[in-house]
Amino acid sequence: MTLAMHGLMRYTGTVEDECLLAHWWAQCRLAGELAGMVPTWAQALGPFLAFCRQAHLEMACDDAGPWFVIWATPWNTGGVLGLWVRRDRRCTKAALRAWEAASARFLAAWPVLIVLTRRVRLARLYARLGVVFTPEPVPGLLEGEPAW
């Protein structure tokens, strides 16, 4: 990963990058967070790595491994945005600073970023960060389930 602003590193496909992605996958798998984060087909390690390789991905790490990961997969002239923050770093000033820095870079690269979530709580959190959602979830939007 190459160093970016605010301690975020950009995925570049090195062996070290792949090891960090595998570490992150293991963290998410053990915490039961993969199901809400990536499509069903990408929840095993190999497909997860393939999913990450197709995205523009940035990550911040500490001694416990990845703690902030943001990615966008290209779609039309924009990107579909994903975000994960390790439980012990959620709702912290460091996470907010990482979000602000990364989302500004992502918006500079893509004029439109699409954020999808099945969870009301996450939709509310994203809305506080400036993301605009439909008033009600769209039926069948994510793998047949309603989502914003």
DSSP 42: G
- pLDDT-based confidence at residue 3 (cuts at 50, 70, 90): very low
Q: Each residue of 69-89: pLDDT tens digit?
A: 999 998 888 899 999 999 999
Beta-strand relationship, 78-85 and 65-75: antiparallel
Mean pLDDT, residues 20-38 taken together: 94
DSSP 107: H
Mean pLDDT of the chain: 91
Answer yes or no: is pLDDT of 40 > 90: yes
> Could you tell me the two tokens for 146?
């309603």
**Residues 38, 40, 43, 46: is their CA dihedral positive or negative?**
negative
Mean pLDDT, residues 91-119 taken together: 92
